[in-house]
Amino acid sequence: MKYTKFSKLWESLHSSFWFVPTLMVVLSIGLSFVTIGIDQTLETDIIGNLGWAYALGPNGSRAILSAIAGSMVSVATTAFSITIVALQLASSQFGPRLLRNFMQDIGNQIVLGTFISTFVYSLMVLRTINGVAENEFVPHLAVTGGIGLAIASIGVLIYFIHHAATSIQVDHVISNVGRELDEAIDRLFPNKMGRGASKGRREPMTSDIPANFEHDACPIQAASSSYIQAVDTSQLLQKAKEGNLLLRLQQYPGDFVVKGSPLALVYPADAVCKKLTEQINDAFVLGSQRTDQQDVEFSVNQLVEIAVRALSPGINDPFTAVRCIDQLSAALCHLAQKEIPSAYRYDDEDKLRVIAEPVTFVDMTDAAFNQIRQYGQTSVAVTMRLLEAIAVIAPFTHTKADRAALLRHADMIDRGSQEGIAEALDRNDIKERYLAAVKAIELH
């Protein structure tokens, strides 16, 4: 549970604009103390005579540090303004769910942190300069460090301008979401996951689930209303073993739960108490929004949202929709090769403790294709690419259920094209791709 909650904490920190800049500001303050301390320890003439060190007097040092600090405030303000404009553009063009991806951009966070850190460093060094003749002190090494940070900030500014221009390009956004989707699939569907009652067994024995489970199990109600971001099944497995219980989850990552709705069913019912209710609620990590921590459909929905927005009459951009379909097809090919974990989790004594239905290839296919098929029913290019994607995915499938899901979607796409597309020749082209998709499914 600690790891699950730590993942949520890291997710929130990683998605903020203050965490990385704050760390960089703290480091800059530490650097200022170190460089000033070196200046105070060594002879001023030794540092001043170095060829690369800044060697002017108090007035010149104050002037250059003041110029650096003032310019960094202006540049940081400009960078913040550009970032806000990029966020507004992303929200209107790609959807508000994509803001999280821009907020997580570590490049933007480092850029903002660099400008603010240089400003703070300059102020920290500026306060130590003393121009009084008797106690004159100029931290040459520290001032040189400030000049170095200013030069580095210029390089960071150039990077930021390029990065801001490329980060809002639709192909870049779609590629990033597709990469996150692949990472989520690898994280949630490793080659070996879960443990059955015996090696290779996917279904439990009849005796593993009590016959009166449905009737006698007691529901554990949610303590608040929110989205489920993660579920610590290891914690649930441990609690079920300790209490000799059988748990069946009713809600999963990505679901929105209402306070008082059942999170899980517990058998036997007489084992339910206030402490167990709190422990099971604690195993469900809730938040105000969905994340991809354990919700693989979240990234799928992001790509679908981009495609659906592109197909709206106000935008009418089928090329973007086709690009999203390409990424979704690649992800489904990736998922089709993964071993879906068993819904039945056993303890080390080979006793069934937790029933948690995993997201399947069929679920992912529905999430990927349904809305795009519905909104793109009148688009010839989108319809044909959906059928081509099915033909590409088919060779990667390994089960009848997966192939049946692809065939079902191919049939729906074909029927929709007959109703939504008026031109006979276009319908003929679509029919050819439909037959090719069916053939690919039947061959595998």
Our measurement of the distance from residue 250's CA atom to the centroid of its chain's CA atoms, rounded to an integer in Å, reads 24
pLDDT tens track for 299-325:
999 999 999 999 988 888 999 999 999
Q: What pLDDT is recorded for position 60? A: 85
Structure confidence at residue 441 (pLDDT): 94
CATH number for the domain running over 183-193+295-342+357-443? 1.25.40
Q: Give the pLDDT of residue 220.
A: 92
CB-facing half-sphere around the CA of 58: CA atoms within 13 A: 11
Amino acid found at 295: D
Q: Which residue has the tokens 């595998």?
A: 444
pLDDT score, position 83: 82
**CATH of the structural domain 206-287, one choice from 2.40.50.100, 1.10.150.130, 3.40.50.2300, 3.90.1170.30:** 3.90.1170.30
d(CA 330, CA 335): 9
Cα(390)–Cα(295) distance, integer angstroms: 23
User: DSSP letters along 49-115, please?
Assistant: TSTTS----HHHHHHHHHHHHHHHHHHHHHHHHHHHHHHHHHHHHH-GGGHHHHHT-HHHHHHHHHH
Sequence-distant (6+) residues with CB within 8 A of 363 are 297
Mean pLDDT for back-to-back runs of 10 residues, the chain (444 residues):
61 80 95 89 58 69 92 90 82 78 85 94 91 77 90 93 87 91 89 41 66 88 92 90 91 93 91 90 89 89 93 89 96 92 86 90 95 94 96 93 95 92 92 95 84
Domain ranges of the chain: 2-168, 183-193+295-342+357-443, 206-287
